[in-house]
């Protein structure tokens, strides 16, 4: 399954290598791109394996650490700090190229996993997820900068499809391996074992990036200063999202104070970091950025609760609960592959509309398993359709963003895409977590400890899935507004 500096001071693509400048020649596996493509796909493979494995182990980890009421925090902490990492990665890439932020990001990603895996309390576990999120934010923007610099426009759909395809094996193997390890050795081994996999992507990707996309955007230009305003806005958007998450979990009148403070920080940060017109779904680039957030946020907020729902309400083992999502990896890759075919280009926007319809229907259909006579495998089927939609939408928004961006704006707009993605994840997880806790979600942990199911009212889960399905339905309308109309919108105006 990212917005950064102002258009003048943002990450701009360096001149493409000879093979990338050809009008319609080359491929992502030609001699000029082979090592780079394989290396970057390996990095995405690591992130994919972590996401599928950790999601499977999360219900057991939260139960053992007595943190079920804080379950949503374990996910949103990752997305909150990743927002700051995205902005930092943009400026860093502009000054010295994407190599350093990518290396640092992968290292932080591994350190966060280790911290969570050795945690003795839920707050330490969440802290580890926050460190991991910082690393993930650095990595994702750095990868987008590499794509913008090193690949010609006609190759970008293919590399995005390759990124999606790299989720297939982890989606199948990850839940099974994670569930088995969790049941036989304990959930901690899922977290502390993954950092070992960092070695291969580092050894393969970094030398290729050094050769093809390292260094500042313009080696002849003076070194650009750090844009302190953008850093302040990045801190504001992260702190604001964290305060809203905290307020949502507290569910007390006094929580209105941190909620108000969070909004006060978020509003100016969003307006400064996203393209003008994003919040009102202006046609073209702003709607592309908004749609990315709607699709990713609604889907991830729902998916985060599926393993917990199946384990606590239907009595599935962690292995089976996680494996119910495995088919989605195949259909996600299929959706992304279809959008990469040349014959789909004239119909890209229609494909995105279809994808959003499938996403909304999948989210609305998942909680049907709360009805006891509905087979538990229903989730696997409906989620496979939703993942097909996500494969088409996520890859297409990336392609459309680069198509609608001026060359000097690719870095900033790529980061805006990721910030929309991450921020919506935080906000919808916060809202879902608050609704879950308010309607008896805390009883799930007691029921799991007692070895029983149905420990909470089904309404606690329905309150997560049905509202975000409504958000996804709004995304269907936004998907009809992706065609550009008028001048391109730049980052840094009123969103």
Mean pLDDT by 10 residues, the chain (495 residues): 34 41 63 78 78 75 79 76 84 78 87 88 89 89 80 78 74 72 80 73 71 62 70 84 72 76 86 86 92 93 85 77 74 86 85 95 92 87 93 89 72 79 81 77 52 61 90 95 64 58
Angle between helices 228-250 and 256-273 (to 10 degrees): 150
Residue 450 token pair? 């007692």
Q: Residue 111's Cα: distance from chain center in Å? A: 19
The pLDDT of residue 304: 81
DSSP, collapsed to helix, strand or coil, labels residue 317 as coil
**In 3D, which of 363, 370, 360 has the Cα closest to residue 308?**
370
Q: CA-CA distance, 28 to 166, in Å (whole number)?
A: 14
Q: Say how far residue 200 (Cα) sits from the centre of its chain.
A: 22
d(CA 18, CA 188): 47
What was the pLDDT predicted at 408?
57
- Identify the pLDDT of residue 8: 33
- Token output for 172: 């199948």
pLDDT of residue 25: 62
**Distance between CA atoms of 322 and 478, rounded to whole angstroms?**
31
pLDDT at 23: 45
């Amino acid at each position: 399954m990212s917005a950064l500096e102002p258009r003048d001071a943002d990450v701009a693509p360096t001149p493409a290598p000879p093979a990338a400048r050809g009008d319609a020649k080359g491929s992502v596996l030609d001699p000029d791109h082979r090592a780079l493509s394989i290396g970057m796909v390996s990095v995405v493979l690591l992130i994919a394996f972590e996401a599928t494995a950790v999601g499977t182990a999360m219900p057991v980890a939260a139960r053992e650490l007595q943190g079920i009421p804080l379950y949503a925090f374990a996910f949103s902490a990752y997305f909150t700090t990743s927002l700051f990492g995205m902005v930092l990665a943009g400026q860093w890439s502009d000054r010295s190229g994407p190599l350093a932020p990518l290396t640092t990001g992968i290292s932080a990603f591994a350190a966060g996993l280790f911290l969570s895996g050795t945690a003795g309390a839920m707050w330490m576990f969440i802290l580890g997820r926050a460190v991991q999120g910082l690393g993930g934010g650095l990595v994702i923007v750095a990868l987008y900068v590499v794509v913008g610099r090193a690949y010609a426009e006609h190759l970008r759909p293919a590399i995005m499809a390759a990124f999606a395809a790299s989720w297939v094996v982890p989606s199948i193997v990850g839940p099974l391996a994670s569930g088995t390890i969790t049941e036989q050795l304990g959930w901690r081994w899922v977290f502390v074992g993954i950092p070992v996999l960092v070695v291969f992507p580092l050894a393969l990707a970094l030398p290729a990036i050094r050769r093809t996309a390292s260094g500042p955007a313009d080696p002849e230009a003076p070194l650009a200063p750090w844009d302190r305003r953008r850093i302040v806005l990045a801190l504001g958007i992260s702190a604001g999202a964290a305060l809203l998450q905290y307020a949502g979990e507290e569910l007390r009148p006094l929580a209105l104070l941190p909620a108000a403070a969070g909004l006060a920080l978020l509003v100016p940060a969003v307006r400064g970091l996203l393209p003008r017109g994003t919040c009102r779904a202006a046609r073209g680039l702003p709607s592309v950025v908004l749609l990315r957030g709607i699709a990713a946020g609604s889907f991830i907020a729902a998916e985060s609760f599926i393993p917990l729902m199946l384990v606590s309400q239907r009595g599935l083992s962690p292995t089976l609960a996680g494996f119910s999502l495995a088919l989605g990896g195949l259909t996600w890759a299929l959706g992304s592959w279809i959008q990469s075919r040349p014959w789909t280009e004239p119909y890209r926007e229609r494909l995105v509309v279809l994808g959003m319809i499938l996403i909304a229907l999948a989210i609305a259909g998942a909680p049907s398993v709360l009805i006891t006579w509905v087979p538990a495998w229903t989730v696997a089927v409906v989620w496979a359709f939703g993942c097909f939609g996500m494969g088409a939408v996520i890859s297409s928004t990336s392609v459309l963003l680069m198509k609608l961006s001026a060359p000097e704006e690719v870095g900033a707009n790529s980061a805006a895409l990721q910030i929309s993605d991450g921020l919506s994840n935080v906000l919808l997880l916060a809202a879902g977590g608050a609704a879950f806790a308010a309607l008896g979600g805390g009883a799930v942990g007691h029921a799991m400890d007692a070895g029983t199911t149905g420990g909470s009212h089904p309404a606690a889960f329905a309150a997560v899935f049905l509202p975000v399905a409504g958000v996804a339905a709004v995304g269907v309308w936004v998907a009809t507004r992706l065609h550009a109309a008028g001048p391109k919108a730049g980052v840094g105006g009123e969103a």
